Amino acid sequence: MNRITGKKKDETLIEMQNTTEYPSGGEDNDLSLNSISVKGPEHSEPSTTDPAAEISPLLCGLPGNNTAGGSRDCVFFRDGVRRIDFVLAYVDDKNDEKKQRRKEYEANLIKAGLELETEDKSESEDMKTYFLKVHAPWEVLATYADVLKIKVPFKVNDIQGTRETPLEWLFRPFQLPEHIMNPEPDFFTAPFNKDKIDFFLISDKETLFPPSTRNRIVYYILSRCPYYREDHKDRDKKGIKRLLNNGTYQSAFPLHDSRYWMRSRNPKCESERYNLYKYWARIGCFYKEQPLNLIRKYYGEKIGIYFAWLGFYTEMLFFAAVVGLICFIAGVVTYDDNTWSKEICDPSIGGKIVMCPLCDKKCGFWKLNSTCTASWQSHLFDNVGTVFFAIFMGIWVTLFLEFWKRRQARLEYEWDLVDFEEEQQQLQLRPEYETKCSGRRLNRITQEMEPYLSVTSKCARCCLSGATVIFWIALICACITGVIAYRLAVYAAFASIMKDSPTSKLQLVGSLITPQLATSVTASCINFVIIMILNFMYERVAIWITDMEIPKTHLEYENRLTTKMFLFQFANYYSSCFYVAFFKGKFVGYPGDYNYMFGKLRNEECDPGGCLIELTTQLVIVMVGKQVWGNIQEALVPWMCNWWGSRKGRHPSDRTVYSSWEQDHDLQNFSQIGLFYEYLEMVIQFGFITLFVASFPLAPLLALCNNILEVRVDAWKLTTQFRRPMASKARSIGAWLEILNGVAVLSVITNAFIVSFTSDMIPRLVYLYVYQPNKTLTMEGYISNSLSVFNISEMGLDHQPEEGENPVWFNSSLISACRYRDYRYPPGHEKQYTHTMQFWHILAAKLAFIIIMEHVVFGVKVFVAWLIPDVPSEVKARVKRERYLVQEYLHNYEVEKLKVELSQLNGYHSPEHTTGVCSLPETTEVLRECL
């Protein structure tokens, strides 16, 4: 198409407007035709004898006219017929280079067959921004649908649907209306072929391609269209991304089809955004199923796959949450059967056992019954159900991944992704790669010169990137070491301060406030703050070093960024939990020979009730804190940004002034890696509920509650706070599936070690079946058996408490020995203070349990993975049926077409043949860059 006559040949749009601009405030300014486009010769329509008849369709949609087709609160050109498939925004500036780039770029877009219409800056809210609206006519859509092999219906699906679910009435409150769940009929589809236009079911060519497909086609052209003249030598200058990076255009986005709070008044607008908000994005719909087909239709397959995975993950969490809750209830029910806690709390047993100081100088001797409350709390999570739940979660992870593969295969078929190939997207060069690579070399396939990054430069960049990642991971380790040092240093201070603290006299909570609890809670909070600060800084560092590596394609860029971010966040979020689970209390030594950090700070010891309760505390604070902060950040940040930007904007109720493109322009941009952060958040949560779930069975329940909210928060912000994302295809969740598989395998190992070395389950079982003196299969005497004896007189001066630190009940003349958590021979024995045989029996039992649990779980995992095929048999049958029909119908089509051609050659024109075959005019030139 050509712009309306009146501008000179080499004049840009801005220059033309400067010469034809009406006085500001004039009434005729609204009727200025310099922002209106008409069709050129290549798309001309039959002319009319009345000039007014040519102009009236254009004028009906000008500002001030509220016709249904031409309203500014609409997704059509001002003629009310042509749909706006994309919008480019730019600011009026004096940069001649940008003007020239826009001029060449728009000329090439017109050459590619797109139709353009510009909104003058005088009609924008800031009086500076131009909006270039882009429309793809049918010929362009058909041409590039053929290039992109977009699938189009050719036959109604004749395979009967699945049978009704038993007791379906129970699920009706959770279901959505049929037109929302399935907005389109079910068809058999085949890749579009421009030469076989009459092969496909095309009732209306204007609605054959949904808006998301139209947007994808237009963006495909925009991202490859050059902005140079044909005689220009620098042919790598192409694509809207580079124009956005160099400031030629401010933004590029497809339009939402309506406002989210009301339907569009134009009957031609689908109002799918309104339906998504009403039935999906509102918090009140948290118990409803997700309209995945409508999400896919509006946002594309890539976003649809994410919400399908998130919804399936949330559904599977329900079963893990129920089992975890049952295990927790089992701990509560068996609360009174906790014999070892009763011994700790019994004044005649725990009240008479004097424990050695937990730190030097500032910690005095203490009685075992002071840990009574912590022992009871530990039993809630450290019981027989812990072992069962750890094994269950190992199997649950396998079921989750295997069933997701089946769900994914079903979606691939339903969404026409079975034969989808990503090579075109993978081979698309990033604009940054083309800009920063100064070298050129011949591509053997295309026989054209292409950007090239030398091996030397690539190795140097990768080495610098790797060194940066290692440095940041080392920084995490340093921070964790600092938190550990804080624990060691502050515990002594808390022990000294809280000895006579008024908080110990408080009712109900007084007994809960102990030095151990205060140290653990404050250290966990400090660790969480450090995690969030490091995470905030590293996100920018990871993007910077990934940009520095200059990945060639977008897929390579996302994979590299995914690897860096996950490695860092894995170390950042889980390192403190790994320390408490596998290192704390394991390398303490004994009173006569303690181990020290930095030569000054004595290593931490576990409470006589075990370290499991501290791991639980650490896990709860980090996991819950991250989820709460993440939801607040996801919902509040875009809302605040939009609120701040809308202060100078127009009120949405003024439809005749505040246009659809202006409203969408004022929203936040959904970046190309926007889903990356959503996946990362959920994968980190997946690690929390699998890697350390043996210490906290309620973790899946917390994750379930969070994800029910997460689905709606993500839907709300995507529907109301962001511009419409660019629709793109994806047949799976990509590299995240491999990461989930890796976490699933690691979780079996970590939970086996937690049950063996962090929990007291194995020592109790060994005592019950081997070392119980009365052979009565009771736990009586376990506490005394698990504590070793040390002679206080042999304690060095550096380890003895300072004067005044010992409690009033301590009398050195009467108390000669203290107890500590270990299995060592008592003083006076020929092997005093060395490990007893019971220690080695327990160690052997722990290692045996790890081996048995891993082999059992991994065996079940392999069997389940073999038993459950990745692709359901029903889907396989449907795929075969569709491929068979495609071949059969194409064969019949070719035969009929051949008959028509033969009859025409013989001079015979059969009515039934000639009327059934139509052709598509060859009017659109396909850009060489798009092939």
The answer to whether the CB of 661 falls within 8 A of the CB of 124 is no
pLDDT in the model for residue 29: 35
Average of pLDDT values for 562-566?
Answer: 86
Q: What is the DSSP code string of 715-731?
A: HHIIIIIBPPPPP---S
Beta-ladder partners of 790: 818
H/E segment holding residue 563: helix 554-582
The answer to whether the CB of 790 falls within 8 A of the CB of 351 is no
Buried b (16+ CB within 10 A) or exposed e, 535-560: beebbebbeebbeebbbbebbbbbeb
Residue pointed to by tokens 């080695």: 840
Single-letter amino acid, residue 269: C
37: left (phi over 0), alpha (psi -120 to 50) or beta: beta
Alpha-carbon distance of 255 to 654, in angstroms, equals 18
Residue 143: CA count within 13 A, CB half-sphere: 21
The residue length of the chain stands at: 931
The yes-or-no verdict on residue 45 having pLDDT over 50 is: no
In the numeric block, which tokens belong to residue 607? 């409470």
Confidence of residue 908 (pLDDT cuts 50, 70, 90): low
Alpha-carbon distance of 73 to 529, in angstroms, equals 45
| pLDDT tens digits along 528-541 | 888 888 888 888 88
pLDDT in the model for residue 915: 41
In the numeric block, which tokens belong to residue 782? 């376990």
Winning range, highest mean pLDDT, from 65-74, 187-196, 461-470, 743-752: 743-752
Alpha-carbon distance of 607 to 610, in angstroms, equals 5
Task: Tell whether the torsion through CA atoms of 807, 813, 814 and 815 is positive or negative.
Answer: positive
pLDDT in the model for residue 165: 59
Buried b (16+ CB within 10 A) or exposed e, 771-788: bbeeeeeebbbbbebbbb
Residue pointed to by tokens 């698990």: 786
> Lowest mean pLDDT: which of 8-12, 371-375, 587-591?
8-12
Alpha-carbon distance of 48 to 820, in angstroms, equals 102
The yes-or-no verdict on residue 607 having pLDDT over 50 is: yes
State the chain's mean pLDDT as an integer: 80
pLDDT in the model for residue 236: 62
The answer to whether the CB of 587 falls within 8 A of the CB of 490 is no
**What is residue 594's three-state secondary structure?**
strand
The answer to whether the CB of 136 falls within 8 A of the CB of 113 is yes
The yes-or-no verdict on residue 27 having pLDDT over 60 is: no
Confidence of residue 19 (pLDDT cuts 50, 70, 90): very low
Alpha-carbon distance of 820 to 790, in angstroms, equals 8
Q: CB atoms < 10 A from the CB of 123, how many?
A: 20
The answer to whether the CB of 273 falls within 8 A of the CB of 294 is no
Alpha-carbon distance of 269 to 210, in angstroms, equals 11
Single-letter amino acid, residue 313: Y
The yes-or-no verdict on residue 638 having pLDDT over 80 is: yes
H/E segment holding residue 874: helix 873-905
Average of pLDDT values for 11-34?
Answer: 33
Alpha-carbon distance of 254 to 299, in angstroms, equals 11
Nearby residues of 353 by Cβ (< 8 Å), 6 or more positions away = 367, 368, 369, 783, 784, 787, 819
Average of pLDDT values for 673-701?
Answer: 90
Alpha-carbon distance of 36 to 116, in angstroms, equals 9
The yes-or-no verdict on residue 769 having pLDDT over 70 is: yes
H/E segment holding residue 129: strand 129-135
Confidence of residue 401 (pLDDT cuts 50, 70, 90): very high
pLDDT in the model for residue 377: 80
pLDDT in the model for residue 6: 33
The answer to whether the CB of 761 falls within 8 A of the CB of 382 is yes
Angstrom CA distances, 803 to 561, 721, 799, 888, stand at: 57, 64, 12, 96
Beta-ladder partners of 590: 593
In the numeric block, which tokens belong to residue 752? 């086996």
The answer to whether the CB of 666 falls within 8 A of the CB of 255 is no
| pLDDT tens digits along 125-183 | 878 899 999 999 999 999 999 888 888 888 887 776 655 556 677 778 888 998 899 88
Alpha-carbon distance of 91 to 128, in angstroms, equals 6
Confidence of residue 657 (pLDDT cuts 50, 70, 90): low
In the numeric block, which tokens belong to residue 161? 């649907």
pLDDT in the model for residue 56: 30
pLDDT in the model for residue 590: 87
Residue 208: CA count within 13 A, CB half-sphere: 22
H/E segment holding residue 207: helix 205-208
Average of pLDDT values for 762-781?
Answer: 87
- Residue 252 phi, psi (nearest 5): -145, 125
The answer to whether the CB of 188 falls within 8 A of the CB of 154 is yes
Residues of the chain above pLDDT 70, percent: 81
Alpha-carbon distance of 803 to 316, in angstroms, equals 58
Which letter does DSSP use for residue 756 in this model?
Answer: I
Average of pLDDT values for 580-602?
Answer: 82
The answer to whether the CB of 295 falls within 8 A of the CB of 307 is yes
**What is residue 479's three-state secondary structure?**
helix
Average of pLDDT values for 510-520?
Answer: 65
Which letter does DSSP use for residue 503 in this model?
Answer: G
Beta-ladder partners of 294: none
pLDDT in the model for residue 927: 61
**What is residue 291's three-state secondary structure?**
coil
Burial of 566 (0-12, 13-18, 19+ CB in 10 A): buried
The answer to whether the CB of 623 falls within 8 A of the CB of 699 is yes
Nearby residues of 782 by Cβ (< 8 Å), 6 or more positions away = 339, 340, 343, 764, 767, 768
The yes-or-no verdict on residue 888 having pLDDT over 50 is: yes
pLDDT in the model for residue 780: 87
Which letter does DSSP use for residue 34 in this model?
Answer: G
> Lowest mean pLDDT: which of 177-186, 541-550, 608-617, 849-858?
608-617
pLDDT in the model for residue 113: 92
Task: Tell whether the torsion through CA atoms of 747, 748, 749 and 754 is positive or negative.
Answer: positive
The yes-or-no verdict on residue 779 having pLDDT over 90 is: no
Angstrom CA distances, 523 to 100, 650, 736, stand at: 59, 49, 32
Strands 187-191 and 37-38, by their bridges, are unpaired
The answer to whether the CB of 6 falls within 8 A of the CB of 47 is no
Q: What is the DSSP code string of 48-73?
A: -S-HHHHHHHHHTTSTT---TTT-SS
| pLDDT tens digits along 189-236 | 888 888 888 888 888 888 889 888 999 999 989 988 888 776 665 656
Alpha-carbon distance of 868 to 400, in angstroms, equals 11
pTM: 0.83
pLDDT in the model for residue 476: 87
pLDDT in the model for residue 598: 74
Confidence of residue 68 (pLDDT cuts 50, 70, 90): very low
Confidence of residue 835 (pLDDT cuts 50, 70, 90): very high
pLDDT in the model for residue 40: 36
Alpha-carbon distance of 334 to 519, in angstroms, equals 29
Burial of 810 (0-12, 13-18, 19+ CB in 10 A): middle
Alpha-carbon distance of 595 to 253, in angstroms, equals 62
Alpha-carbon distance of 641 to 720, in angstroms, equals 13
Residue of 740, 739, 694, 744 whose CA lies nearest to 580: 694
Beta-ladder partners of 589: 594
pLDDT in the model for residue 878: 83
The yes-or-no verdict on residue 635 having pLDDT over 90 is: no
> Lowest mean pLDDT: which of 189-203, 404-418, 827-841?
189-203
Radius of gyration in angstroms for the set of CA atoms belonging to the chain, rounded to a whole number: 35
Single-letter amino acid, residue 147: V
The yes-or-no verdict on residue 930 having pLDDT over 70 is: no
| pLDDT tens digits along 698-752 | 999 999 999 999 999 999 999 999 999 988 888 888 889 999 999 999 999 999 9
Average of pLDDT values for 897-902?
Answer: 83
Which letter does DSSP use for residue 187 in this model?
Answer: E
